[in-house]
Chain A
């Protein structure tokens, strides 16, 4: 089922961020959402995630049972290890520990598995947040600037890690980097400032 936004309107204190915004995100595809800061990209994700209510319009096609989301900030419980952050949101299952361990190693965090994430650098925390969103079993994935602050090599590894995990999942990828759309063979949606 496509994710369909129809006439979506949202204002903050008299400033209209989204004005009758409509778009259909095709099921199972990655869509790169581009646009200048303040044009409503993050607001769009927050509305889809149900964190805010629109002033008008409708959203249909959001799957039942949770959404995988990577926020603009990392939003990791600081006292937990990287694996702890992932386990906190993932349902216990056979082989989960090994799956988490492998994911963190691929993302270059293998040497820091025992450290709480408060001791991590910004880029390391970003990778943990990415792993959490990608391993979370949802057909809808919302990624808000997932590769922000990563150096070229780390970014490449993160993209390689993400690509197979996003296959077949409806993904909205907010980005300022045109390369991201190419890396995921994504459709492009350019949002204009209101």
Chain B
């Protein structure tokens, strides 16, 4: 194991589990119970050539990213307010605790009464991500060195310069960590909401239909597509945050 280059190890580990999956599915011998990796990839390949696949994927991607972005903006803004005014933090504390502990399914069912199912994944991604980003940003704000803030005050630093050189570099690691965790949460909760609400033309609808028609290769192929797009979003976010971090380093 020591002779294997470290960069290669994650790929080999993934390959190992793919092989296990293939062997188990061959042993089961019924794609309706467990589709093999080969069958999954073949089904995904077939889906990639259909316009309906891309429409559904874009629909869900757009809705989940909208919910995520709204939650990011609101969570960061609320945390900034709470960092400045403790009364805001005290006021929000029970609400956000409730948002964290209420099951996604309860939110989904309640939301279906209030809004059309087409917008469901936006709301659910928002509700699930907001408390995570609020907590992460508030934690980041608490990392800002009060002594550097005093220095900024004495030297009458502009708001922008203070944000760029004092506040953001201290708060960014915590905010970035919350963003990275919550992009995955947004996908998981958003797709789960779609499966329950079944908005037409969504990935959730496709998963639901796969369940109804016992089309296990479809279920696996759609799941693989979700995992890949979710991972792509997380990677892009990571790259963006790394760029921001490097820009702040340069001052």
Write the residues of chain A forming the contact surface with B, with a CB cutoff of 8 angstroms: 49-51, 65-69, 71, 73, 75, 77-81, 83-84, 87-89, 116, 132, 136
A116/B151 contact (C-beta < 8 A), A88-B161, A88-B165 known: no
Q: List 24 A-B contacts (CB under 8 A).
A: A50-B154, A65-B156, A66-B156, A67-B155, A69-B154, A71-B147, A71-B151, A75-B147, A75-B151, A77-B165, A77-B166, A77-B169, A79-B248, A79-B249, A79-B251, A80-B165, A80-B251, A87-B251, A88-B161, A88-B165, A88-B251, A89-B161, A116-B249, A136-B155
Interface of B is mostly: helix
CB contacts (< 8 Å) of B251 on chain A: these are 77, 79-81, 83-84, 87-88
Nearest opposing residue in chain A for B248, CB measure? A79
CB contacts (< 8 Å) of B166 on chain A: these are 77
Is the C-beta of B153 less than 8 angstroms from some C-beta in chain A? yes
Interface of A is mostly: loop
Q: A75 to B161, Cβ gap below 8 A?
A: no
B212-251 with Cβ < 8 A to chain A: 248-251
Query: In the complex, what's the smallest C-beta–C-beta distance from B144 to chain A, in angstroms?
Result: 11
Query: In the complex, what's the smallest C-beta–C-beta distance from B67 to chain A, in angstroms?
Result: 32
Using a Cβ–Cβ cut-off of 8 Å, how many residues does chain B contribute to the interface with A? 19
Q: A75 to B148, Cβ gap below 8 A?
A: yes
Query: In the complex, what's the smallest C-beta–C-beta distance from A85 to chain B, in angstroms?
Result: 8
Q: Report the bound CA distance from A88 to B154 in whole Å.
A: 13
CB contacts (< 8 Å) of B164 on chain A: these are 88
CB contacts (< 8 Å) of B154 on chain A: these are 49-51, 66-67, 69
Is the C-beta of B157 less than 8 angstroms from some C-beta in chain A? yes
Q: Which residue in B147, B161, B165 is a CB contact (below 8 Å) of A73?
A: B147
